[in-house]
Homo-oligomer: A and B are copies of this chain.
Amino acid sequence: MGENENMASLSLDQHRAAVEALLAPLSLVRVTESISLSAARIAGAPDVYRHRVLAEDIASPTDLPPFDNSQMDGYAVRSAELAGATPDAAVRLRVDPQINAGDSISELEPGTAAPIMTGAPLPTGADAVVPIERAIPDHFRSTGDAEDSAALTVDFTAVPHSDEFVRRRGSDVARGELLLTAGSALGPAQLGVIAATGLTKIDVLRRIRVLLVATGHEIREPGTPLRPGQIYDSNSAVLSQALIECGCTVVAWPCRSDDAADLLHIIEKGAPTADLVITVGGVSAGAREVVRDALGPLGVEFSHVAMQPGGPQGLGLVEAPGHPDGIPVVTFPGNPVSALVSFEIFVRPILRRLAGFARTERETLRLPLAVAVESPAGKHQVRRASIDPDGRVRLVGGPSSHLLHSYAASTALVHLPVGLGHADAGDPVDVWRIDD
């Protein structure tokens, strides 16, 4: 799990391209699943809708809006009947019964204007709405008035054009037109327009399912007793959350042993319901490296990437139940900082693209260093940092890959590329924001 170096070396870009090639087929084999859609379910089971992507184009099953309706509170009129209306020569119409949102579609009698509320159906015969504030009087009179509503009149001092303040049936989307395209991420507006059509079931892409295997004879489940020399498994929590935030589902199945047979058992049992295996630890130059021992003979290739942390990396296709062409396996080093940096650089952008995120890469800023820094010139070093109020980037903790506490206090990653051995305070560096 360490940063030892006596193996073939790759550049960061070379390994990233290799992971990309390994995972590319995941976009081709995506299974569709139906989810039912209701506001109660969105509110009550929000995880069902988190980071979802439409599997297929949806054609609208209905016109939206489904009927001509009023854009304003006002009067539905025949615009031709107001021809010639001016402030000096108002046109007077009798007031029809009021049309409320939710009423069925009525008929506008000639010579009348119907009080109409926003969203209420335009009566047959009407072709325009005059907003209440442009009518005389400029307020609605209750039918409970002493006056008989049939005797009410309203004056208009301008001619509306036809369709004015009318939302025509199908003007947002017509029945049969494309409502949403395959690949659309489902946010508020997308879920809303589906609801507006009345659809209650949609086909979405099944999430990428990851079998996450933290390894090591020394790791124990938090909350259980530790003997000296043992540590709590933090990688399962770190990477479960990181994967969830990429729209994946995760089975976290640690291998608390250095026995290759135990790891192979986990992969055999977990592979049928997984699309991807990520292992953590057991890939370094040590004498007992469970991932290397178990998966090297099955075709996983291990190499050293010229980066720090996260040097020891591996990948390959492993024959497994349910995967006739092999299941993709990506292996990370075991220090939690190394594992999370590896995930950030090699896997996160790919999984987010597969999940349909618009933003697959971290926001990158170019910021001056608050303090000078040394970096191994032969490696791409990634440091944890925060951003000062004045916009300088300040390293948090040292380069060592066990400093997860420092990582947790950071809001940024600083990239010190190959060839950079020293940078002064004030020198600009590439910074990824990781605080969203």
- Where the two chains meet, the residues of A that have a C-beta atom closer than 8 Å to any C-beta of B are 1-6, 37-40, 42-43, 45-47, 49-50, 60, 64-67, 70-74, 98, 100-105, 115, 117-121, 131-133, 138-140, 142, 167, 171-173, 179-180, 184-200, 212, 214, 216-219, 221-223, 226-242, 244-245, 249-252, 254, 258, 284-288, 334-336, 340, 357-359, 397, 400-411, 434-436
Q: Which residues of B contact A335 (CB under 8 A)?
A: 118-119
Contact A67 B192 (CB under 8 A): no
Q: Which residues of B contact A184 (CB under 8 A)?
A: 408
Report the separation of the CA atoms of residues A142 and B436 in the bound assembly, to the nearest whole angstrom: 47
Contact A411 B358 (CB under 8 A): yes
Q: Chain B nearest CB: distance from A171 CB in Å?
A: 8
When all copies of this chain in the complex are counted, the total is: 2
Q: Which residue on chain B has the smallest CB distance to residue A411?
A: B358
Contact B287 A98 (CB under 8 A): yes
Q: Which residues of B contact A242 (CB under 8 A)?
A: 187-188
Contact B71 A3 (CB under 8 A): yes
Q: Which residues of B contact A101 (CB under 8 A)?
A: 1, 216-218, 229, 258
Q: Which of B131, B171, B237, B435 contacts A191 (CB 8 A)?
A: B237
Q: Which residues of B contact A403 (CB under 8 A)?
A: 171-172
Q: Which residue on chain B has the smallest CB distance to residue A214?
A: B39
- The answer to whether residues A132 and B285 also contact, given A119-B216, A436-B359 and a CB cut-off of 8 A, is yes
Q: Which residue on chain B has the smallest CB distance to residue A6?
A: B133
Q: Which residue on chain B has the smallest CB distance to residue A187?
A: B241
Contact B190 A408 (CB under 8 A): yes
Q: Chain B nearest CB: distance from A121 CB in Å?
A: 4
Report the separation of the CA atoms of residues A187 and B434 in the bound assembly, to the nearest whole angstrom: 9
Q: Which residues of B contact A49 (CB under 8 A)?
A: 241, 244
Contact A42 B240 (CB under 8 A): yes
Contact B189 A39 (CB under 8 A): no
Q: Which residues of B contact A400 (CB under 8 A)?
A: 71, 167, 171
Q: Which residues of B contact A286 (CB under 8 A)?
A: 73, 100, 117-118, 140
Q: Chain B nearest CB: distance from A117 CB in Å?
A: 4
Q: Which residue on chain B has the smallest CB distance to residue A140?
A: B287
Contact B172 A65 (CB under 8 A): no
A-B contact pairs, 24 of them (CB 8 A): A2-B119, A3-B71, A6-B139, A39-B240, A42-B240, A49-B241, A49-B244, A66-B231, A71-B400, A102-B219, A102-B230, A105-B229, A119-B334, A119-B335, A173-B405, A184-B408, A187-B245, A188-B241, A192-B235, A192-B408, A196-B222, A196-B231, A198-B223, A200-B223
Q: Which residues of B contact A357 (CB under 8 A)?
A: 436
- The answer to whether residues A245 and B189 also contact, given A118-B284, A231-B66 and a CB cut-off of 8 A, is no
- The answer to whether residues A228 and B67 also contact, given A173-B405, A404-B192 and a CB cut-off of 8 A, is yes
Q: Which residues of B contact A216 (CB under 8 A)?
A: 101-102, 119
Q: Which residues of B contact A401 (CB under 8 A)?
A: 71
Contact B250 A43 (CB under 8 A): yes
Contact A192 B234 (CB under 8 A): yes
Q: Which residues of B contact A100 (CB under 8 A)?
A: 217-218, 258, 286-288
